[in-house]
Amino acid sequence: MAIEDRDHAKLITHALAKDTLSKLRSVETEQVAFRKGLVKLGRICGYEIIDGEMLTEFVAIETPLAETTGERVTGLDDVVIINVLRAATPFVEGLLKAFPRAKQGVISAGRDEEAGMNEDGEFPISIDYVKLPEITADDTVIVADPMLATGSTMCAVLDHVLEDANDPEDLFVLSALSAPAGLIRVDEQFPEATLLTVAIDEKLDEDGFIVPGLGDAGDRAFRTK
Ligand SMILES: O=P(O)(O)OC[C@H]1O[C@H](OP(=O)(O)OP(=O)(O)O)[C@H](O)[C@@H]1O
Ligand SMILES: O=c1cc[nH]c(=O)[nH]1
Ligand SMILES: [Mg+2]
């Protein structure tokens, strides 16, 4: 199993996840490779969530030759994936390869970078669009955003996700890259969530960017700025 416990989070340690994240970090990686890398990383993370966090059950199978026992992942029909626009879009495309029958929700959330961080290290977040499926007690909810920096966006998103949710069976916050401050903020405000990430970087800079990080994920994937 390639998921390890850390303070406030669990680390996805699959070698291909680390390999893919390293390519995403490089300033040499241009838009198309960056976007494809996020898709690939989403797929790997999805497989790792299934392997490390979901249950299997034994089932009777009849092959063309004999009866035997097979093993199935339980709960694959009860998965909800929340796409935090916009940087999560390619990441979610990859996740859907692991969870093709997931119900999907979309929340458009942006940091007000002109306002900057307040003295508590939080950004004002504007939420412009929210469209969520019904979330039931049987559901495994995965809220995906490749970057968890100050955690301001994720906290605002989780407020919306949990507003009408019926206490889902599992709630995962999945990021490619996290900063310690953001993990602590989300963990303290939403102790019911399991935080999953591929890497925890050293710090945030004065503009709230993860260092060493990978830069602005949305801008690199969508070729803005
Ligand atoms: O943890 P935080 O400090 O809130 O930062 C993380 C957020 O910042 C980025 O989004 P951004 O606001 O740049 O929007 P974008 O996806 O449209 O680029 C990223 O995709 C996260 O949503
Ligand atoms: O480092 C960061 C922080 C927030 N959003 C990004 O895309 N990158
Ligand atoms: Mg951005």
pLDDT tens digits, residue range 173-208?
Answer: 999 999 999 999 999 999 999 999 999 999 999 999
Closest residue by CA, ligand 2 atom 6: 216
**Among residues 211, 208, 223, which one has the least CA distance to residue 125?**
208
Is ipTM beyond 0.95? yes
Which domains does the chain show, CATH number per domain?
A: 3-222 (3.40.50.2020)
Give the Cα separation of 129 and 106 in Å (integer). 8
Ligand 2 centroid to 209 CA: how many Å?
Answer: 5
pTM comes to 0.97
Ligand 2 near 149 CB (within 6 A): yes
pLDDT tens digits, residue range 124-160?
Answer: 999 999 999 999 999 999 999 999 999 999 999 999 9
What does the block give as tokens for 86? 């916009």
Ligand 2 near 216 CB (within 6 A): yes
pLDDT at residue number 225: 83
